[in-house]
Amino acid sequence: MSGTFVGMPAFPVAARDAVRDTTLRGNLRHATHTIRAKRANAVAELPDWAELREAGKRIKDHTLRHLDRYLERLEESVTAAGGTVHWAADADEANRIVARLVKETGESEVVKVKSMATQEIGLNEALLEEGIHAYETDLAELIVQLGKDRPSHILVPAIHRNRGEIREIFAREMSEWGRPAPEGLTDTPAELAEAARLHLREKFLRAKVGISGANFMVAETGTLVVVESEGNGRMCLTLPETLISVVGIEKIVPTWQDLEVFLQTLPRSSTAERMNPYTSTWTGTTDRDGPRTFHLVLLDNGRTDTLADEVGRQALRCIRCSACLNVCPVYERAGGHAYGSVYPGPIGAILSPQLRGTGSEIDASLPYASSLCGACYEVCPVAIDIPEVLVHLRERVVEGGPVTRAGNKVVLQPAKGHAAERAAMRAARWAFTRPGVLRTGQRLASRTRRLHPRTLPGPGRAWSGTRDLPPVPAEPFRDWWQRTQGVDGGKGTAK
Amino acid sequence: MSSRERILGRVRRALADVPEDDTPYERAVARDYLREHGERTAEQTVDLLAENLADYRALVHRTDAEGLAGVLAGLLAARGAATVLVPPGLDEGWLASTDVTRVADRAESTPQELDRVDSVVTACAVAVAETGTIVLDGSPDQGRRRITLVPDHHICVVRVPDQVVSSVPQALGRLDPARPLTWISGPSATSDIELDRVEGVHGPRTLEVVLVG
């Protein structure tokens, strides 16, 4: 099994297989339900949650609206603090920069803190091609890496695995990568965590190069922030001599004070804790404490294209808490792999088609991977209106129109698979603007209702495959109104 | 064209809809959220800190300035520690009652050497009651970041009530962003197995906090 998402089938196809996997559904149901109630409690502790959410939204929106200015400011302050800033327009460029920086140290292995940005650009695979081994050190990332698997959740990439499966992966694979799992390893979470501690310890202690992402970058001070639980982040951020951080350009906040909002909303939204066990902040390099060399790679890779869409750009507010995944009824049943991206769930359904464009089958199908129930918007700590963006992207897929790809304005053609939908909508528009036609059509439909099929023929079959067609009433509403309530109907005249 | 120019150019074109006189930062963000949650006396704030530290499995001890050396000696003895890492600026009196071998915090020490040390004793920069968090800022009485990371047993001394604030906004106001900061809320933990919290992964598995006041 490959660790990449290239050539993924459309969401409905992938989801159909996932939904049949009863172990997967059990694992996801258990995990998402556990965290849902806890998150609600953690949020309820703060009476000013709504104000914090609004402030987070506004800080991010303001930053995005002036991103050029804040990027320049950040570069200035990171450089002044002793760091080196690199700019990467796409995944390939970012991977080339990181590989070069690692090679310059003379090392052939690196330890990694969990980072969505480096997952997104496929950094581990790119480094391996250059002969550099990247070791994931987050417990869930380790489970994914050892299992030659793909991540299925933003925060807990191995959420699709239960303790028994994890035990099996550790017992089987750890010896291939370094220290083997302890003899007689059981499936209690504490023992599994201990096995990971022992396995990774030797890697941390000898590591000369660490690679991370960042949750936030403060423009005015040049400070980077990593929020974590296990201590693997602290290991990677402080023990190596060289630290390379790959961070999306949307991760900026203007001031140090802005952290007071996100350090309250992020932990409660993601792991439902008042505060996560460890948060590290660093500003450039510190004399005789931690890495001597610090590189920051600023990553675009579709973010500026997303920024160009006035409706879609709100997706860049995302702080990767994954609360939207945990409450989503579609995610709970289909699992993360069906989304064909490192960003699964509701946020992935609006982020992936914007970062990558809607050219592939999977990306064109993602805006439809939702029932539009709105639970994701409800829990989002930066108030991203995910349903609004989903509908906006559906329109783009069906109707086509102007978009920005790799910095260039292009006009998207309407998608092929949606011809029937467009024809149906055109017919509806025609009929609804002609009352006489509509009336005749409705009466005809009522009289022939015993002959109606229960499923649609032709291109409509897919739609009615999972839904009952609504029954047509014996009499159109307007006829009934005329008969019972109208001027000729006599009694009970409507007001 | 460099990638820097390319990306900044793309950003500017993408933001063509943003007017010149867009609301400035100072007015764009309404900070009408609370500076702290609830009204408490200094003593109640310390009690809340103790409660929240314990809630995330830190072991909390309370003493006064005179009792501190005795408490620290007792904790190291109970742990069976043979060696203890000591930051250069730690108050000498704190370890006056123990004969556990001191290991100095030196830049030259290798991570492997630190891994063989049993315990570490530090002060802190600030503690946050609402979240049960202690923050280290690398001052001389706290040492380099790695000394509170590699040993498996961390004892942190908090001077109460002076070093205790109620909330995250208050803590950030007291801290210097130029210093490397480590915010610690309980011992190392993970939620990666079935989204359930388990204590004890890579950081110190035992965190003891001594409140002195």
Domain positions in chain A are 46-301, 434-489
Which residues 111-150 on chain B approach chain A with CB closer than 8 angstroms? 111-112, 115, 128, 130-133, 138, 144-146, 149-150
Q: What is the mean pLDDT of residues A110-119?
A: 96
* DSSP assignment string, A90-139: SHHHHHHHHHHHHHHHT-SEEEE---HHHHHTTHHHHHHHTT-EEEE-SH
Look at residue B62 and tell me if it is in a domain. Answer: yes
Look at residue B131 and tell me if it is in a domain. Answer: yes
- Mark residue B143 as left, alpha or beta (left: phi above 0; alpha: psi -120 to 50; beta: remaining): left
Rounded-to-integer distance, Cα A175 and Cα A199, Å: 9
Q: Would you state the pLDDT for residue A4?
A: 52
Q: Residue A42 is inside which H or E element, if any?
A: helix A22-44
Q: What is the mean pLDDT of residues B40-61?
A: 97
| Closest alpha carbon within chain A to B180 | A282
Look at residue B66 and tell me if it is in a domain. Answer: yes
Chain-chain contact of B14 with A304 (C-beta, under 8 angstroms):
yes
Q: Would you state the pLDDT for residue A493?
A: 47
Residue range A212-226, pLDDT digits in tens: 999 999 999 999 999
User: Encoding tokens for residue A10?
Assistant: 């459309």
In one letter, which amino acid is A115? S
Confidence of residue A471 (pLDDT cuts 50, 70, 90): confident
| Residue A489 pLDDT > 60 | no
Residue range A234-253, pLDDT digits in tens: 999 999 999 999 999 999 99
| Closest alpha carbon within chain A to B13 | A308
CA dist B58 → A139, A168, B80, B134, B207 (Å)? 22, 32, 18, 11, 5
Q: What is the mean pLDDT of residues B49-60?
A: 97
Confidence of residue A492 (pLDDT cuts 50, 70, 90): very low
| Residue A495 pLDDT > 50 | no
Would an 8 Å CB–CB cutoff place B99 in contact with chain A? no
Chain B closest-CA separation from residue A56 CA (Å): 8
Give A23's contacts (C-beta < 8 A, 6+ positions apart): A162
Chain B closest-CA separation from residue A372 CA (Å): 25
Residue range A392-402, pLDDT digits in tens: 999 999 989 99
Residue range A35-50, pLDDT digits in tens: 999 999 999 999 999 9
User: Encoding tokens for residue B68?
Assistant: 């501190």
Chain A closest-CA separation from residue B158 CA (Å): 18
Chain-chain contact of B29 with A139 (C-beta, under 8 angstroms):
no
| Residue A298 pLDDT > 70 | yes
What CATH number has the domain bearing residue B118? Answer: 3.40.50.10420
Chain B closest-CA separation from residue A374 CA (Å): 23
Report cis status (omega within 30 of 0) of the bond before A476: no
Q: Tell me how many domains chain B contains.
A: 1
Total residues belonging to chain B: 213
Domain that holds residue B137: 41-212
| Closest alpha carbon within chain B to A71 | B8
The shortest CB-CB distance from A290 to any of B37, B180, B203 is to: B180
Q: How does the average pLDDT of chain A come out, rounded?
A: 93
ipTM metric: 0.97
Residue range B69-111, pLDDT digits in tens: 999 999 999 999 999 999 999 999 999 999 999 999 999 999 9
SS (H, E, C) B162-206: CCEECCHHHHHHHCCCCCCEEEECCCCEEEEECCEEEECCCCCCE
Q: What is the mean pLDDT of residues A321-344?
A: 96
- Superfamily of A46-301 according to CATH: NagB/RpiA/CoA transferase-like (3.40.50.10420)
Total residues belonging to chain A: 495
Collect all residues of chain B within an 8 Å Cβ-Cβ radius of residue A238. 144-146, 149
Would an 8 Å CB–CB cutoff place B89 in contact with chain A? no
Confidence of residue B17 (pLDDT cuts 50, 70, 90): very high
The shortest CB-CB distance from B200 to any of A143, A193, A313 is to: A193
Chain B closest-CA separation from residue A490 CA (Å): 58
- What is the pTM assigned to this prediction? 0.93
User: Encoding tokens for residue B21?
Assistant: 């006189």
Q: Would you state the pLDDT for residue A420?
A: 79
| Closest alpha carbon within chain A to B31 | A55
Collect all residues of chain B within an 8 Å Cβ-Cβ radius of residue A27. 194
Would an 8 Å CB–CB cutoff place B190 in contact with chain A? yes
Look at residue B97 and tell me if it is in a domain. Answer: yes
Collect all residues of chain B within an 8 Å Cβ-Cβ radius of residue A310. 17
